[in-house]
Structure formats: C-alpha cells, structure tokens
Structure 1
C-alpha cells in the first residue's frame, strides 16, 4: 500500500488499565506498552488447509505503510529532551508511558495511580512533542482506559489550564482514535448494581475510575474531588462547545467469548453483549463515528492487535473523504399491534482488504434495531448503516489482463433483514426460522474521484441483479448505472439507491440506501 497520509502528524499511543501494582509493573516492563503486539488469523484455502494471515502490529504497520519512525534510542523522554526544537520528524510515534511514575520498581511515590495525573502528563508530552517536531497538533490513539485519560485531558485538564476555554484542546489534538474505551463506564449485568457500588466504594485496584462519580470528576472542568454525579449526566456525551465528537473515532468490540477465556469472571459479570469487559452501548461517544468489529477487549483475538482495528485507524487518521450510508424512507409492514420486531444486519467490506471493517449481526448480539414511527403519519427516521473514511491516494488494483490501474474504489455493503415475533411481551418462536433472513442482498458501490477536482462519480448495483461474480462487474459509464448527485450544496455529494423489489415489498415502495460523500479538512503538508 502506498502512503495514504499526505501531511503527517505525530502519533501518541495511550494504553489501558493495568490494575494493581503487579499489573503496573508488568506494563512498564513492556517497552511499547503492548502496542507492538501482532496476531495471526487462520482461514481455509481451496484444499481445506489452514492458511495464515499475519498482522504485524499497529506500530509496525504505521512504519511500513506511512513511513513513520519510532524514535526511542534507549529512552524516549531523554531523546526528546536532548533534541533542539523543530528538529524531529513529525512522522513519528510516541508512547505515553504514564504508568512509569506509579511502578513499584521505578518510584517511591506513595500515591496510587491517578487518571488526572495521567491526563496532565499526557498534556505535557503533547506540548513537548509539538515543540520538538514543529507539528501544529498530534494524533492520539488509545486503548480501553487510555481513551478516558485522553478525554480527561480534552475535557478537563486543557480547559482548566486555558482559562476555561472548552474547545482549547483543538489547538493541540487533531483526531482521536479509541479502541474498546469504556466511554460510558463499566457496568455489570449481574448483582443489580451491588457490584458497581462495591467497586466505587472501595476503589479496589483503582477500578472506581469506571464508575459515574469518578468519571464526572475527571471529565468535568472545575469539578471538585468530592463532587457527585448530577442527575441526568451522561458520560458518553461530549460537551457541545468542547472538542468535536466527530474528531473522535470509536472502535467497538463485540466478541465477549475470547476475552472470557482469560478473564471469565469479568466477562460473565459484564455480559455477552460486550467485548468481554466493555458493553457495546458504553464503548462509544454520542455523535462520534464508530465501527463494530468481532474482536475482544484484549488477548489472542484482541481489538488492538487486529487488522480490522488498523484498517479503521489508518482511514480515520489519514483519509480525506468521509462516506455515510443510511436506510431512508422505510415503512414497515403491519401495525404496532402485530408485535413484530425487525432487525437489520450490516457488514462493510472494501476491495483489497482481508477483513470486514464494520459488522453488526444478530449472531454477535448487535443488530440494527428498526423502530416504527410513533404515529402512522410520522416521517420514518433514517437508519444509520455505516460511517467510514477513505483516501483518494490509496493504491488501486490493476484491471484484469492489463497494467492499467482501476480508477474506482469499490465498497460492498451486505444487508440482511430479519424479523421476530413477540407474544405477551416475550419473543415467540412458534413460526420462527432461526438465522433466516426475510430479505438479503449485497450493494456494490464504486466511487471515482477525478484528478481535476471535479465532483466524485459513483456507480451502484445490487448483487441480485448481477449475472457474474462481484469482482468481475465493471460499471458501464454509458448507462444509467451512474448515480446522480441530489445534493446541490458544494463540497458534498448525495445519492439515493432504491432497494430491490423484494426489499421494497417489506420496507416500503420508497425505501432506499442514501450514500453521502464529503471531503475532510486536509492535514498539514
């Protein structure tokens, strides 16, 4: 893959929760706090033999794909301190080693870990990296609790240090990517709240940082150390006048079973609709772009050491185009009284990648719930399907039988509509066919970005109408397959793709997938 990044900004990694003193000691013994770990996936080849896909690690891939440097040379902080201002390459990777000051083998500091201190030291590191590289801002990449350290800095540390300016963090941070961060805290599906109360009261191993009172204190400017969470406060909501939520990407894990193998108690307490530690509904910021992938919180199939994670990461950090797809103008059959529950499964694939970038399914306990309008004459609410980022600089495959590069980027959206019945408020399986879709199809979308700066062109087709393999379909520019821009605003492009006849019989005659394409602000050269 060629460079997608254009201008580059320094990347700072922020790791997650390590637990008590022994866990902190183990964390600081790792020179890269775990972000150097890769993984191996297995799939079956044409002879039914296992074939391996190796993922090197997010650190190594940034170095391979984007020319980043990992500048340690014995001591990362010492290296930074010894260099003159503006002399270090901005395309560099740094690890926020905030646990070092709390490790028993490195310090005599009697104070336990403090998320506020970790946030302050992150701010100090950002200012140092900016000064030494001359970069205007940095990228932050965080796993688990590391995302809360980042948010504490964005929402409290920096505003408190800049005369209360709620959006001051935008001067220092460009984009934030979080893996499996408990943005809404960590809740338990068992114990009826008693486990959370015990955790927050005792603060065992510092785990009270995942409870509402502590979260309110370190996420709220000027909040005192004894403040209690006010009624209605939502940890997943960023302040409207603060760091923009659309500059944060949340990668959400949906595989609880693999993490259970290592930490079964945590997984059982949290519940199945989680990554084994963080519940799906607590793993993202409201209004922020996000993707769901079938990965666990950590471990062999962990979300950080995954191809899915890296592909979402590089597209969000370096992509210059944003694409959103929604299901619009839907009208479900029947009435509210028939007790039918409608669910949609969606999966996004991009040509050239060995993994699915986003997946919501009933098997992973995270389908898209389609709700009926409150009244019969109310307009149907659009159903978000996917929000992703692309780069117009990405390498394209060559056309079959020639050396000519294909000019379009191809994306495939798999959709499956399922229904369940309820009887007396409970799901009824009397007429149910498990995992059988009422409708399913695959939408193939090709997008072309002309080099002359003119608006993008796009073509779309439903797989059910093709008489060939998807990979062999070539858009015919002379036919009406090309999508028309229905948005007159400059800087954006919008197209409606009508659902196939079989889907419209279930979802309404006007039901369509709406695809919106817009540019993003360029990174510094």
Structure 2
C-alpha cells in the first residue's frame, strides 16, 4: 500500500567528488554541500535601451521548500545524526524532509579524522542513513507512515551517483537491505561509465586523491558488475533490478563554463563533455535478470557545465526535470524509428555499384513544455549531444539499429495554466542534419550545404490522461511546419504491458536525399497512487 504522503517522500542529497583536502574541508563546512547554490542568467528584451531581463534560479533546496513545502532537518544547530537532536522531544522529522548525506565529514581535517574512507564505506553508510531516516519518519506519529510503507528519494551529483549505485546494486554493501526503501534515483552529471581523460579511462593505479574511483575496472568490482557476459563487458553503466525503471540521468553538455584546474579539466575531457564527464558516460541502461542489456534509463540533456555557478545542479532545466520526475503525473519516453533513408542520386549509384557508402546521421531533439521559458531536454549538434545513427549500421539491421531512444519527458498536472485546454502539452523540435556522405571513405561534397537538414519540423503533443481507471487516453498532435497550430489530429493509443500506451506520428522529408520514419511516444501514468492536493 502506498504511503498517504506519496509522492512527497524524504529526499536524500548525495554530493559529488572533492579532490583535495581543502575542497573536502570546504564541502564539510557547507550545511548543504553546494545544493543550496543558485544562478543568475539573462534573457534578451525587445527594447535595446533596457537592461536584459534577469532570470534567477534560487537553488534546488530553496525551490523545493517554496514550491513543495520541503524543509531541512537542522534543528538548533544539530542534525538528525546528533544525539542532541534526539534528546529534544520537540524535534520531529516530517515526510517532506531534505537530508544531505555528509559523507565527507569523516575525511575533513576540520570535522573528522582527515582520512578519506573507501567508496564502499560511503555506500554502506548511505544505507545506514536511509534506515535512520526511516526510523525517525515512521516514529513521528504525525506522519502516520508504517515502516513497511516508508520510501525515500536519492538525488545525487557526480560521484554521489556512484555512491548510490554501490548501495542499490551491490548486495555486499547493503547488509541491512536499505535499498528496498529507495523509490526513485536521480543523478546529475554522474560518471556512470567512469571518467576518460584525453580519450583514456582513468588508470587503476592512479590512487592519488582517490581518482582511481573512476576507473572502470575498479567500478566493475564496486558495482558487482565484474562477472557480466561478454556483450556487456567493458562498460559499467548498467543498473539491474526494478530501480532502473525509476532512474533518471541528467546530462550536462557545456564544457566551456567548467573552470576547475584553470580550465585544464575541460581540455582533458574534450568535446562532448560537461567539462569533466563525457556525455556518453553520464547515462545508464537497465540490466535484465539474465544480465542482458535492457532499455535505457530515462535521461535528458541541458546546456550546463559539470558544476559551478552555471553548473547542471544550479539550473532551472535540471530542477524542472527533477521535480517532474519525483512528483509528476505523466511519463513520455520518446523514440525515433527510421524506416527509410534516401541517399543522393550519385551516392546511391555508387552504393548500387558495390562501393562502400557511409554517413553519420545526427538527430537533434528539443522539448519544451507549454507556457515555460526553458527546455526539458536539449540535444543539439553544436553541443555534441545529438543521437547518432551510422548508415552502415542502419543498412545491416534497419529495424534494430534504426530505433533510437531520444529522451524522456515528465509532465505535471500542477503545471497546467490554460483551463480552456485541460491537457498536458509540450513542443518537440526534431531535426535530422544532412550528413557528410562518404564513398569508399572519401568525402563526397557535391550538392552539400553545411548546416542543412534532411528533415526539420516541430510537433505539439497534447495529452489528457484517463480520468478514471481503464478509461481511454486522449492524445492529439500537430506538425508546426512554418507557423503554429494547435494540436488537432487525434491519435489512437495502442495498449502496452504495464499500463503503458504507445502512439506513433509518421514523418517524411518527401525529398531526395531524405529520411522517413516515425516518432514513437511510449506514455504512462506516473505516480498513479499519488494524492496530489496542491
């Protein structure tokens, strides 16, 4: 039975890696370990005589308090792990609590012993913290939560996501089975597949300041992934168990704003990174019970750096993904299925003659909810975040390799602003870039126009979830073409297992060269047991 507080469970924040003793001390001195930082950006205005409009993001901690009634756990200068906190009977922990896992305190020269524990210890103690939160929440009669119904959320930045994964997927690090109480898992810029420097994985022998924690061989043992079948070896971005369906990876794509080590980090990480973690290493995939690769975990992309004032944690885009993932009402997983690719006539003639033709098709996708000033996901070629399809891969297995997962979007009933259209809606821009065609590994540039598209259009998707059990979804769409149109074309949802439905919207560039396929939306109710009263 779901808790009556669903979906507002305690949130446990798990911070990222601190390299030097001074960084560890700075982390320990901050009650919120950096999750209380916000950012100020600007938006252009029409009148050039006016200053640009400020856009302020207060911080995830403050916004969770102001938007959803969450509060921190500090009372009279103590936190829930202090004896003094428990000695005062007035100190009670509510279900909407923000707890910061201060795992670096022991390593601090100010607050601890100045010696950093192993990564395994961090994971084990995270389990102990979860059980302590469970004890306090369930022990507060005002909450009315039975111990078996207790749930919490893990929200982690960078290495903090690895700390969480150690608890979630390595039974040896969870002797008291605390992982069963984790309802959802959200990561910002976590190096799920380790960290690469100048194209090479961090070596296992580089133990200075525990940098080898990001070595894939080291992580395989830590995450209990060292005995996987051949097709999954070499990567550690696998998450087994049902938690994979309830995991979200927020990926940063802006390396330029990452100033650590005077910019050396972003130089070593290279293009296609957030300044530290490569984009391809920042997501997760499900691992089946038979240890076979499964579906990708939910993910979205933001043009933000790994950390800092303009980092991924301190952004409206990430916050909106976080809160919709935790508290939202509808989940939409977006796929593009490519059914036909039309090559330029000269290139097609070369392929018909038996010459090897290749190309890399880049799929851009940007999704923005109605009446908002930000994207929920942003995948753009110039930011190295596009989804890619190689021509040879598609040709060898069109159905298998031509199906590409783009992103997941979570929508919330509370965000509705137009009572005349009682639907959840967002706009999706899809752009397939014209590739660099190759014939026998030689670039073919005849009739090539840089920056042009095989297909480009925007689509508005509107959804009305069923009002009662077993009722039908109402789903409409409209291609925008050269202007704006309200969604008016009805779609007929196909029922899938697990209460999900699927709708498909075909597209065709209608030209040569060109591309044909369909956008496939897999839609489901999210937090169906929630009692959304706000």
Give the TM bin, normalised by the shorter chain: 0.7 to 0.9
Number of corresponding residues? 486
Residue equivalent to 2:405: 384
Distance 1:429 1:268 in 2: 31
Question: Any conservation in 1 of the 2:166–2:173 contact (CA below 8 Å)?
Answer: no
500 and 405 in structure 1: CA distance in 2 versus 1, 3 angstrom threshold:
same
1:342 aligns with: 361
Distance in 2, matches of 1:493 and 1:206, equals: 46
Tell me which of 287, 294, 314 is aligned to 2:303.
294
- In the aligned structure 2, how far is the partner of 1:456 from the partner of 1:250? 27
Determine if the alignment matches structure 1 residue 205 to structure 2 residue 219: no
| Deviates most, 451-460 or 271-280 | 451-460
Distance 1:231 1:251 in 2: 23
Deviation, structure 1 residue 189:
2.1
Deviation at 1:116, TM superposition (A): 1.6
Give the alignment partner of residue 417 of structure 2, picking from 390, 397, 400: 397
- The equivalent of 2:238 in structure 1 is 237
C-alpha deviation, 1:501, in angstroms? 5.4
The answer to whether the aligner puts 1:460 opposite 2:477 as a matched pair is: yes
Alpha-carbon distance in 1 for matches of 2:42, 2:20 = 35
Hey, what does 1:411 align to over in structure 2?
Answer: 426
Compared CA separation, residues 379 and 124, structure 1 to 2 (3 A): closer
Structure 2 residue matching 1:257: 3-state secondary structure: coil
Q: Which residue of 1 aligns with 2:52?
A: 50
Instruction: Select 1:214's aligned residue among 206, 215, 218.
Output: 218
CA distance in 2 between partners of 1:133 and 1:503 (Å): 61
SS in 2 for 1:258: coil
Measure the CA separation in 2 of the matches of 1:367 and 1:407: 33
Structure 2: gaps spanning 5 or more residues: 139-144, 286-295
Which residue does the alignment assign to 1:154? 168
2:334 to 295, 302, 325: 325
Do 1:13 and 1:95's aligned partners in 2 also have CA atoms closer than 8 Å? Answer: yes
Partner residue in 2 for 1:186:
195
1:497 partner SS: strand
Shift of 1:214: 2.5
Q: 1:34 to 1:407 in 2, by over 3 A?
A: same
Matched ranges for 1:252-267 at <5 A: 252-260=251-259, 263-267=262-266
1:444 aligns with 2:460: yes
Shift of 1:383: 2.0
Structure 1 pair 503/75, CA: closer, same or farther in 2 (3 Å)? farther
Task: Measure the CA separation in 2 of the matches of 1:377 and 1:158.
Answer: 40
Aligned-pair distance for 1:159? Answer: 5.8
What's the counterpart of residue 319 of structure 2? 310
Q: Taking structure 1 as reference, are residues 125 and 80 closer, same or farther at Cα in structure 2, changes over 3 Å only?
A: farther
Q: Which residue number in structure 2 is paired with residue 401 of structure 1?
A: none
Tell me if the contact between 2:128 and 2:178 (Cα under 8 Å) persists in the aligned partners. Answer: no
Contact kept? 1:416, 1:439, Cα under 8 Å: yes
SS of residue in 1 equivalent to 2:104: helix
Shift of 1:446: 1.1
Report the alpha carbon displacement of residue 260 of structure 1 after superposing the two structures with TM. Answer: 4.4
- Write the deviation string for residues 110-146 of structure 1: whole angstroms up to 9, x where unpaired: x434212211221111101111112512101000011
- Equivalent residue, structure 1, for 2:280: 281
TM-score, length basis structure 1:
0.85
1:133 aligns with 2:148: no
Root mean square deviation of aligned Cα: 2.9
**Relative to 1, partners in 2 of residues 1:475 and 1:125: Cα closer, same or farther, differing over 3 Å?**
same
- Match of 1:99, SS state, is coil
Could you list the runs of 5+ residues in structure 1 that have no partner in the other structure? 163-167, 224-228, 399-403
Distance 1:222 1:84 in 2: 47
1:363 paired residue number: 382
Residues 24, 456 of structure 1: alpha-carbon distance in 2 compared, 3 angstrom cutoff: same
Q: Which digits, 9 at most, give the CA deviation of each residue in 1:190-237, with x for residues without a partner? A: 5xx4x833xx324111111111232123222999xxxxx999253111
- TM-score, normalised on structure 2? 0.83
Q: Is the 8 A contact 2:455 2:515 kept in 1?
A: no
Q: What SS does the corresponding residue of 1:146 show, helix, strand or coil?
A: helix
Of residues 431, 445, 449 in structure 2, which corresponds to 1:433?
A: 449
Q: 1:128 to 1:426 in 2, by over 3 A?
A: farther
- 1:382 CA drift (Å): 1.7
Counterparts of 2:27 and 2:459, CA distance in 1: 44
- On the 8 A contact 1:14/1:143 being kept in 2, the answer is yes
Larger strand share, 1 or 2? 2
Which deviates the most, 435-444 or 150-159?
150-159
Rounded Cα–Cα distance in structure 1 between residues aligned with 2:134 and 2:190: 25
Distance 1:169 1:160, change over 3 A: closer
SS at match of 1:101: coil
Give the superposition deviation at 1:394: 1.8
2:288 counterpart residue number: none
1:517 aligns with 2:523: yes
Aligned equivalents of 1:218 and 1:314: distance in 2? 30
2:340 match: secondary structure: coil
Change (3 A) 1:14 1:417: same
Three-state SS of the structure 2 residue aligned to 1:369 is strand
